[in-house]
Structure 1
Amino acid sequence: MLKINRDNLKSSHQLTWFIIDFLMLGLLIINLAFIIWDSIYNFIAIQNALKESLPALQAAYHPIHENFIFYDVMFVTVFLTEFFVRWGYAIRANVYDRWYFYPFIHWYDLVGCIPIGSLRFLRILRVISIMYRLHQYKIIDITDTGIYRFLNFYYEAFMEELSDRIVAKVLSGVQHEIKLGSPLFEKIQHDILYPRREMLSDWISQRVAEAAKEGYVPNRAALKGYLEDRVDHALKQNQELSRLKYLPVVGSTIQQTLENAVGDIVANVIQQILEDLASSSNHAFIEDIVNVFIRGPDKPDSTEARNEALIALIIEIIDAIKGQVKVKRWREQLP
Structure 2
Amino acid sequence: MLRINRENLRSSHQLIWFLIDFLMLGLLIINLAFIIWDSIYSFVAVQNLLEENLPAVNAIYQPIHERFIFYDLIFVSIFLTEFFVRWGYSVKAKVYDRWYFYPFIHWYDLVGCIPVGGFRFLRALRIISIIYRLHQYKIIDFTSTRLYQFVSFYYEAFMEELSDRIVLKVLSGVQDEVKRGSPLFERIQADILFPRRSMLSDWLSERVALAAQHGYIPNRGALRVYLEDRVDNALKQNLELSRLKYLPVVGPTIQDTLENAVGDIVANVIHQILEDLASSSNHAFIEDIVNVMLPEPGEEKGADQEQEALINLILEVIDAIKDQVRVKHWRANLP
Determine if contact 2:79/2:113 at 8 Å carries over to the other structure: yes
**Inter-partner Cα distance in structure 2 for 1:201 and 1:170:** 35
Does residue 1:71 correspond to 2:75, yes or no?
Answer: no
Deviates more, 1:188-197 or 1:141-150: 188-197
Runs of 5+ unmatched residues, structure 2: none
TM-superposed deviation, 1:37: 1.7
Partner of 2:20: 20
Following TM superposition, by how much is the alpha carbon of 1:277 offset from its aligned partner in structure 2, in angstroms?
A: 6.3
TM-score normalised to structure 1 length: 0.76
Aligned-partner SS, 1:49? helix
Measured in 2, the distance between the counterparts of 1:132 and 1:195 equals 48
Going from structure 1 to structure 2, the CA distance change for 1:251 and 1:23 (only over 3 Å counts) comes to closer
Matches within 5 A, 1:44-55: 44-55=44-55
**Equivalent position of 1:233 in the other structure:** 237
Q: Which runs of structure 2 are paired with 1:1-335 in the superposition (5 Å)?
A: 1-166=1-166, 180-182=182-184, 183-190=187-194, 194-207=198-211, 224-236=228-240, 259-276=255-272, 281-283=277-279, 287-295=283-291, 300=296, 302-305=299-302, 328-335=328-335
> Partners of 2:45 and 2:267 in 1: how far apart?
93
Q: Matches of 2:321 and 2:132 in 1, distance apart?
A: 36
In structure 1, give the amino acid aligned to 2:135.
H
Report the CA distance between 1:214 and its aligned residue: 11
Check whether the contact 2:190–2:296 (CA below 8 A) recurs between aligned residues.
no
User: Is the CA contact 2:157–2:330 (under 8 Å) kept in the aligned structure 1?
Assistant: yes
Q: Offset at 1:138?
A: 2.2
Task: For 1:13, give the aligned amino acid.
Answer: H
- Check the 8 A contact 2:135/2:141 in 1, yes or no: yes
8 Å contact from structure 1 (residues 189, 294) kept in 2:
no
Distance change >3 Å, CA 305–CA 230, structure 1 → 2: farther
Identity of aligned residues (%): 51
Q: Is the 8 A contact 2:211 2:278 kept in 1?
A: no
In structure 2, relative to structure 1, the CA distance for the partners of 1:173 and 1:155 (3 Å cut) is same
Contact 1:211 1:278 in 2 (8 A): no
One-letter code of the match for 1:263? E
Shift of 1:268: 2.7
**Matched length:** 327
> Are 1:18 and 1:134, in contact at CA under 8 Å, matched by a contact in 2?
yes
Letter in 1 for 2:108: Y
Q: Say whether the 8 Å CA contact 1:109–1:123 is kept in structure 2.
A: yes
1:209/1:280 contact within 8 Å kept: no
Q: Deviations over 1:187-235 (max 9, x none)?
A: 4423566413333333345546767689996686565444323234335
Contact 2:193 2:294 in 1 (8 A): no
Distance 1:191 1:324, change over 3 A: farther
